[in-house]
């Protein structure tokens, strides 16, 4: 990372919701070309802070500078014009539209009164190749995987000219293999000079993806660290405010007789698509059976 200038400076940010301070004197800086993790428990104030930065809500007090200039981000259009884009946890895509249509929706390239689809498609293909997103613009959203849908959201933000990108819990919907690919995409974006804020509460992810980490707890910033110099135990303690035992000691389960048996379960949804295809499992007395999977599986 050559140029280490701050592209974002948030100073003494307070957001008061009728007496509840969701953000209570938070400071955050983002440098050009870096990946900054924003770490905190659910309800710590991470999303509120990023909603302020992306123009969705206004701070009660505090100042924001973008590339050294003091700004008032009074709505998402101002954020977009400042080159700030947010990839939300829940995608905002029209299932029946193509990738191309979803990306240019609300940001059309016109040729006289007509939409210039060819020009838009060329730009989108160029972005997809440059950042290794591997997306086919002609596919319908309903035909692509959740991981690919996330890449469409990334393309949407890039197409609108963002060079400061906020990702809200982006790996919640991804498989382990997809997470590895996603982290490579993040690294590629940073290498090309994009500045990235990654909202997360996954410690392992911070270790793998981020350069620095800002920890917030109960609406306050409790420290910013170089990821290389801080371990997961310390981050966990800062996040929750007490010592965290990272080792799990489980007693051996006393497993009894089979209480529930499921064999070759098939389930179709209202659209007559098979959502469960031949699932089998047994549940015994005295055990806890975990069902693991990704959203939508």
Task: Clarify whether residues 74 and 220 are in a common domain.
Answer: yes
Assess if residue 10 is contained within a domain: yes
CATH number at residue 85: 3.40.50.300
Task: Clarify whether residues 256 and 236 are in a common domain.
Answer: no
Angle of CA points 75, 192, 13, to nearest 5°: 35
Task: Clarify whether residues 32 and 136 are in a common domain.
Answer: yes
Task: Clarify whether residues 233 and 256 are in a common domain.
Answer: no
In whole angstroms, how large is the CA radius of gyration of the chain?
A: 22
| Structural domain range at position 126 | 6-240
Task: Clarify whether residues 221 and 262 are in a common domain.
Answer: no
Assess if residue 246 is contained within a domain: no
Task: Clarify whether residues 266 and 138 are in a common domain.
Answer: no
Assess if residue 31 is contained within a domain: yes
* DSSP sequence for 1-24: -----EEEEEEEEEEEETTEEEEE
Task: Clarify whether residues 48 and 141 are in a common domain.
Answer: yes
pLDDT at 108: 58
Burial of 13 (0-12, 13-18, 19+ CB in 10 A): buried
pLDDT at 271: 80
Taking only the tens of pLDDT, the chain with its 297 residues reads 444 589 999 999 999 999 999 999 999 999 999 999 999 998 899 999 999 999 999 999 999 999 999 999 999 999 999 999 999 888 889 988 999 999 988 665 555 556 678 888 999 999 999 999 999 999 999 889 999 999 999 999 999 999 999 999 999 889 889 999 999 999 999 999 999 999 998 999 999 999 999 999 999 999 999 999 999 999 999 999 888 887 888 888 889 999 999 999 999 888 888 889 999 999 999 999 999 877 667
Assess if residue 155 is contained within a domain: yes
Q: Of 201, 218, 240, which one is at a domain's C-terminal end? A: 240
Q: Of 240, 265, 287, which one is at a domain's C-terminal end? A: 240
pLDDT at 44: 92
Q: How many domains does the chain have?
A: 2
Task: Clarify whether residues 134 and 227 are in a common domain.
Answer: yes
């Amino acid at each position: 990372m050559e140029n280490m200038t701050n592209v974002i400076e948030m100073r003494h940010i307070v957001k008061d919701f009728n007496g509840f301070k969701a953000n209570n004197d938070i400071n955050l800086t983002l440098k050009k070309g870096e990946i900054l993790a924003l770490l905190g428990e659910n309800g710590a104030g991470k999303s509120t802070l990023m909603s302020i930065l992306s123009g969705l809500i206004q701070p009660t007090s505090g100042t924001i500078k973008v590339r050294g200039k003091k700004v008032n981000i009074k709505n998402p259009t101002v954020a977009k014009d400042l080159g700030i884009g947010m990839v939300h946890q829940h995608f905002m895509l029209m299932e029946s539209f193509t990738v191309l249509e979803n990306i240019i929706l609300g940001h059309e390239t016109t040729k006289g009164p007509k939409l210039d689809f060819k020009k838009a498609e060329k730009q989108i293909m160029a972005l997809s190749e440059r950042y290794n997103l591997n997306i086919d613009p002609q596919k319908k959203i309903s035909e692509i995987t959740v991981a690919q849908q996330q890449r469409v959201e990334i393309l949407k933000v890039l197409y609108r000219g963002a060079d400061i990108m906020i990702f809200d819990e982006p790996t919640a919907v991804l498989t382990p293999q997809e997470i590895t690919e996603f982290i490579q995409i993040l690294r590629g974006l940073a290498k090309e000079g994009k500045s990235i804020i990654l909202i997360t509460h996954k410690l392992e992810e911070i270790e793998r993806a981020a350069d620095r980490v800002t920890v917030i707890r109960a609406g306050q910033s409790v420290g910013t660290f170089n990821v290389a110099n801080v371990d997961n135990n310390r981050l966990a303690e800062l996040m929750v405010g007490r010592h965290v035992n990272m080792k799990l000691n489980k007693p051996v389960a006393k497993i009894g007789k089979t209480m529930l048996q499921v064999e070759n379960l098939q389930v179709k949804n209202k659209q007559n698509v098979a959502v469960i295809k031949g699932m089998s499992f047994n549940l015994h007395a005295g055990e806890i059976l975990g069902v693991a999977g990704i959203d939508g599986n």
